[in-house]
Amino acid sequence: MAGAKEIRTKIKSIQNTQKITKAMEMVAASKMRKAQDRMRASRPYSEKIHNVIGHLAQSHPEYHHPYMQDREVKRVGFILISSDRGLCGGLNVNMFRAAINSMKKWSDKGVDVDVCTIGQKASVFFKRLKVNMVAQASHLGDNPAITDLIGTVKVMLDAFDEGKIDRLFIVHNEFVNTMTQKADVIQLLPLESANDDELKHHWDYIYEPDAKEVLDALMMRYVESLVYQGVVENIACEMAARMIAMKSASDNAGTLIDELQLVYNKARQAAITQEISEIVSGAAAV
């Protein structure tokens, strides 16, 4: 029965693993629901600020903000949003692939790339790639506050203001549904302006205290809200991907246990049969 005992310990260990993956699946499922709620809660702000920016694009501002002007591209910046923890299937890898493809396109044109990472996984991965990492934020937890992101976003915005980078992109996972997440590269700066032709009349805002300061503050908040939205969405993606990954891990453990159980039963039966035949042949010999 030496083989049977080994199989039994193996089954036991797989059962323990299955318990863990099942627990992780359930945790991810409940966290996903909360993350989706947060994603929905943060949407009104980004919609409203988008409206304001839209109004602004239609007006005739006395001051043209640099974030609305296209300029020659010498260097680009990327904000990469990943999860802090692994065990969530191909989520982060897909994001990395999308980011690297897009970066390669720029570097083929002789454009340098600056990177700012949010989340532990991206910072570890891009550290190894030896790209120019200018800022980094991690351990934001499941409920990130916008204050955690202001610093990292500001580094990139300052770089844009100073002309160190001429375009800014954000790479994050888009939450399509629980089963599907899609890595997405979006241009943050310069803002794509709406067409000015369909204006009915000339109008402009009254700015208090003055146009530059107000627009600076508004643009900063707009970019921050887009990044925040990306982070919140990425968390929902992470939880959904982890739930699916852990579910399939639990299922796989189940099949493995079934197979091993079959092998174990066969070994046990073979041992019993052998014992009986030994007894019978022993009795016959007497």
Q: CA-CA-CA-CA torsion for 204, 210, 213, 219, nearest 10 degrees?
A: -10
The residue from 218, 256, 263, 271 that contacts another protein (CB under 8 A) is 218
Q: Write the interaction track for another protein spanning residues 153-192; mark x where CB under 8 A is met and - where it is not.
A: ----------------------------------------
- Least CB distance to another protein at residue 246 (A): 28
124 in contact with another protein (CB under 8 A): no
The residue from 52, 87, 100, 133 that contacts another protein (CB under 8 A) is 52
The residue from 20, 129, 145, 186 that contacts another protein (CB under 8 A) is 145
What are residue 281's DSSP bridge partners? none
141 in contact with another protein (CB under 8 A): no
Instruction: Pick the closest to residue 148 from 268, 36, 232 (CA basis).
Output: 232
Q: Which one, 146 or 260, has the nearer CB to another protein?
A: 146
49 in contact with another protein (CB under 8 A): yes
Which of the 8 DSSP states describes residue 177? Answer: S
199 in contact with another protein (CB under 8 A): no
The residue from 48, 60, 64, 266 that contacts another protein (CB under 8 A) is 48
276 in contact with another protein (CB under 8 A): no
Count the site residues for another protein by CB under 8 A. Answer: 30
Q: CA-CA-CA-CA torsion for 188, 190, 192, 194, nearest 10 degrees?
A: 130
196 in contact with another protein (CB under 8 A): no
DSSP, residue by residue, 18-60? HHHHHHHHHHHHHHHHHHHHHHHHTHHHHHHHHHHHHHHHHS-
Whole-number Å distance between alpha carbons of 167 and 76: 5
**Residue list 27-46, contact with another protein (CB under 8 A):** 38, 41-42, 44-45
Instruction: Report the chain's terminal Cα–Cα distance, integer Å.
Output: 27
209 in contact with another protein (CB under 8 A): yes
Q: Which one, 24 or 226, has the nearer CB to another protein?
A: 226
The pairing of strands 181-189 and 167-175 is antiparallel
Query: Two tokens at 171?
Result: 């790479």
Instruction: Pick the closest to residue 118 from 88, 146, 89, 87 (CA basis).
Output: 146
Q: In Å, how far from its chain's centre is CA 86? A: 11
The residue from 25, 114, 166, 224 that contacts another protein (CB under 8 A) is 224
Binding site for another protein (CB under 8 A): 38, 41-42, 44-45, 48-49, 51-52, 55-56, 59, 145-146, 203-209, 213-215, 217-218, 221, 224-225, 228
